[in-house]
Structure formats: C-alpha cells, structure tokens
Chain A
C-alpha cells in the first residue's frame, strides 16, 4: 500500500511509535522490520488485536475516543493515526492527545475534496463511494470526513505546526504543496506530520 510506504519513509530509524487504530498490524510490522521501530499499537477490534499479536507486536485493546491517558507526555517519537481520524467520535481530542504524548504525530486521511469524490456527489447526487470510502452512508464508520483544506484550517487555528505533508493519488505520492486549491482537488489521500 502506498500510504504505508509513505509513512514508513517519514519515520526515522529506531523510533518509538504509538500506532493508533493499528488494525491488523501491517503498518506497525513494516515499521518494526524496516525502521527497527519499537512501541505499541492501540486497536479496538478483537480480531485485529489477534492479528497484531500474531505478528509479535505489542497491542493494547482500547478506544481512541477515551483518550490516551495511560501514555505520559512526549513518551513517543511518533504517534501515528493512519486512515482513522475520520472515524473517531472526537477528532480534535484525539489529535490533541496524540500531540501531547508524542514529539511528532503522523495523520493520514482520505481527502473528501478529491475530484472523483466531488464528481460522484455532483453527478450522481449520492454520498460518494470510492476505493478509499467504500461504505454506504448508513453503515460508514467515517463520521468526520474532511478535506486537505479543512485540515490546514484546523491546524492553523490550534497553532499546530505542519512539519511535512505528502499527497497521494492512486499511483503517486508527492511532498509539499504547490497551489492549495489544486492539491486539494487532485489528492485522494493526505499524510501530515504535525507537532506542537
């Protein structure tokens, strides 16, 4: 997966990571194997926890929306929230907590302003579905969908520093931004490194 490769590149060697919503542990395992990362994953789904355990990963079963109280301030090099922000109940709280417990946080999400998403809504008049957003409106876990522009605004208001940004289309990842409007239009998925 492209975003896994992007995140793996962003993480420095021997880092201590907190992988929030680590799923079946694929990304976490990649970071352990390729970057000698250590750390812990947090995952709510029992079957995903089992898959992560099989990979030899440390994983804590828990709900991100309940916060990261057990983790002391700045106790990780990176807190990672891959494709999960849009499905949290309280994204603001989750991001504030990530910034508290880590030196840098990596957040990735599907961009709702991607042109295909826009066209889907525009022409079909229905809630957009795509590879990144495969659910129906009534069963989607994605309750807080956002766009690249939304995220910039969110960070600016809270004095969150954007250290790096990578924009992904189906086949390519590109760093940095040219013209915000155009980037927002062509990005299917965005990855940000933020700090506070």
Chain B
C-alpha cells in the first residue's frame, strides 16, 4: 500500500476589510486552505481548485495517518495525476460563507462576540473570488490556472472575468453560467426545509438544538439532483431494504440511501452556510450583470476547457454549451467536451479517469 501523504489545513487571516457585492464590509476574514506541490520562482505554476457547494479546502491527500478517506478530489490531484503536483502548485480553499474553516455564518462576529448567524451578509460568487484573490496574493502566485466543478466552475468562470491578466487557463466542469429555474427551485425547497425546522430559530441555533431535520431534507433533495434516473436505477432499483413494512418508515433502498446521506451531512455542515451558499449559486448570472455572457467574457485572456457529462440534468450539456458558444462568438480559445457518463451531476467527482485524460491533454497542449 502506498504511504499516505499528510497535508495540513492552514489558515490565512485577511487583515483588511473586504467590501462585498451587497455593499457591506466584512472584517477579519479567515480563509482555510491547503496546498500541494511547490510554487516556482516566477509564481506561475499554480492551479487553484474551486470547490462545489458543500466541499472544503481538503481536496487531496490525508490530514492525518488515521484518516480513512483522502480529500474530496484526491483522484485528480497528486503525483502523476491530472493536476500533477510534480509540475504544479495546487491550492484549494474553503469558500466564503462556508463552515469548514473559512469565515461564514457560524463564525464569531468580532463586533458582537457571538456567531453571525443571519447577520452574516448575503455573499455572492464574486465575493468568494474576492477572498480567494487575497489568499492567492498572499501565497505569491502571479499567474494561475483555475479549475472547478459545479459551483466551483462558477467561481472559475468568475476568476477568468475578474482577473483576466492572472488567469492563464480556465477549466469548468459540470457547470452552468447561470442556474436554471429548475435548479433555483430545488435550492429554494432545500432552504425552506431548513427555515421551517422547529429548531431553526431564525438562524440562532448554535447554542441549542440544530435544525438537523431541515438540513438533512435539504441534503436529500440535493442528492436527488446530483444523480439521474439511470444512476438511481442502477444503484437501488426498486429494491426493498427488507420487505414492505406497511407503515411510513424507510422501505426502499433509495429511501435508506437518502436518509443516510441526510444524516451524515448534518454532522459536517452548518444549516446557515447551506442557506448562504445556495443563495450565492442562485444569484450567479454574469450575463445579467454585464448585459450578455459575451460582454462578461470579452476581456478574458484565458484558454478555456469546458466539460459536461451526458447524464447531468442539473448542470446539463446545453447549459455548458452556453459558455462555449459565448466564447466562440467573441473569438476566445475554447474547447468543449461532453463525457459519456451515467452518474448524473455527481460524475465530476466520480469519473476521474475520463476527466484525467481530457485535462492532462489540455494542460499539455
């Protein structure tokens, strides 16, 4: 068995206030991050990995020898992998508004000494990027490649728009330049489940019972959207856990799976963070902000690689093509690939072999 590579999550405190898109200021923002590989002297071999809705800074390797599971994208990051740490300095940080070490609604508001809860300002994808930029500057990175799947892809896109002189290449996976009405609807139901939980208490639940039921229902809804009919059929079919119970408990395998996913999620995620981050995803729409997607992207200097998955209906191929088409219209360097997969939206976390081939080739070229 290969030795576990141990990596430590580090923290960077931004000492200046950051003005957010909502015009409010946040002070004392802390960013949790991990790095893999070594930054070269020119500071131009960096890859910034941007995570999806509920992931964290721990993208690769292990935090301790006892850890059973490596980081969430360990299949893609490391020695000889798609994001080869021999060649690149790979960075991943937890997003603003998260609950995995970066400042978010569960952090202590220095002005009150209590958790922000719903006093936390409503953040956007643009704000997440603003905070990442502070970290990148602190690390001495001059030029970089930005990569992200799902909400991470939105951040990558935003990076290419906001920092055209820094971003050399942009890799956007299983992503859309704006969530569909259907996507917003699913997020809205998830938020409703949290807000209507009896323990929600207008977000001030940190010293009592947490709105666990609401958060776990939100997660269940999420998981339905991350799979597809075929994936669910293959995984569970109509199989019973045991036999029909003739009550309203968990009968089917698929119910059991959702219950399980919901249950384990509440141990690792904050309900308020879920509200804030899904809202940021809903709001993201550079075409609206700039009049058109073409206009938003017109100053970008990056090469783009856009990857979609055939069975992903949440962030579909059609959605991904909107980005590719806009870039084509304005004569930017863009490649687009639709990978065949029956894993639904989750494919970007599962289909690492297919993605590796594409990404390796793109990074070689």
A: residues with CB less than 8 A from B are: 16, 38, 40, 46, 49-51, 53-62, 70-72, 75
Contacts and interface: CB of A to CB of B under 8 A. Distances in A.
B337 A40 contact: no
B328 A40 contact: yes
Contacts of B325: 70
B243 interface: no
Given A58-B334, A60-B334, A70-B321, A53 B328 contact: no
B338 A61 contact: yes
Given A40-B334, A49-B337, A72-B329, A54 B324 contact: no
B336 A56 contact: no
Interface residues of B, number: 22
Contact of B324 (A38, A70, A72): A70
B336 A61 contact: yes
Interface string B317-333: 00001001100110101
B226 interface: no
Interface of B: 303, 305, 321, 324-325, 328-329, 331, 333-340, 357-358, 361-362, 364-365
Given A59-B335, A60-B328, 9 more contacts: A16-B331, A38-B331, A53-B358, A53-B362, A54-B361, A56-B364, A56-B365, A60-B335, A61-B337
A151 B83 CA distance: 48
25 contacts: A38-B331, A40-B328, A46-B337, A46-B339, A49-B337, A50-B357, A50-B361, A53-B361, A53-B365, A54-B361, A54-B364, A55-B365, A56-B365, A57-B335, A57-B365, A58-B334, A60-B328, A60-B334, A60-B336, A61-B336, A61-B338, A62-B336, A70-B324, A70-B328, A71-B328
Nearest to B338: A61
Contacts of B337: 46, 49, 61
Main secondary structure of the interface of A (DSSP, over half): mixed
Which label, helix, strand, loop or mixed, suits the secondary structure of the B interface? mixed
Nearest to A59: B335
Contacts of B339: 46
Given A40-B328, A53-B365, A70-B325, A58 B358 contact: no
Contacts of B362: 53
Contacts of B335: 49, 53, 57-60
Contacts of A61: 336-338
A144 B364 CA distance: 37
Q: Which 9 A-B pairs have the closest CB atoms?
A: A56-B365, A53-B361, A70-B325, A54-B361, A60-B336, A61-B337, A50-B361, A53-B362, A58-B333
A51 to B, nearest CB: 8
B266 to A, nearest CB: 40
A85 B21 CA distance: 51
Contacts of B328: 40, 60, 70-71
Nearest to B354: A46
Interface centre among B303, B325, B335, B357 (most CB of A within 10 A): B335
A25 to B, nearest CB: 9
A71 B338 CA distance: 18
A35 B182 CA distance: 47
A113 to B, nearest CB: 37
B317 to A, nearest CB: 10
A60 B306 CA distance: 9
Contacts of B329: 70, 72, 75
Nearest to B333: A58
Nearest to A16: B331
Contacts of B324: 60, 70
Contact of A50 (B321, B336, B338, B358): B358
A55 B335 CA distance: 12
Contacts of A55: 365
Contacts of A57: 335, 365
Contacts of A72: 329
Contacts of A56: 364-365
B310 to A, nearest CB: 11
Nearest to A25: B365
A57 B361 CA distance: 10
A78 B324 CA distance: 20
Nearest to B303: A58
Contacts of B303: 58
A44 B34 CA distance: 38
Contacts of A62: 336
Contacts of A49: 335, 337, 358
A38 B331 CA distance: 9
Contacts of A71: 328
Nearest to A62: B336
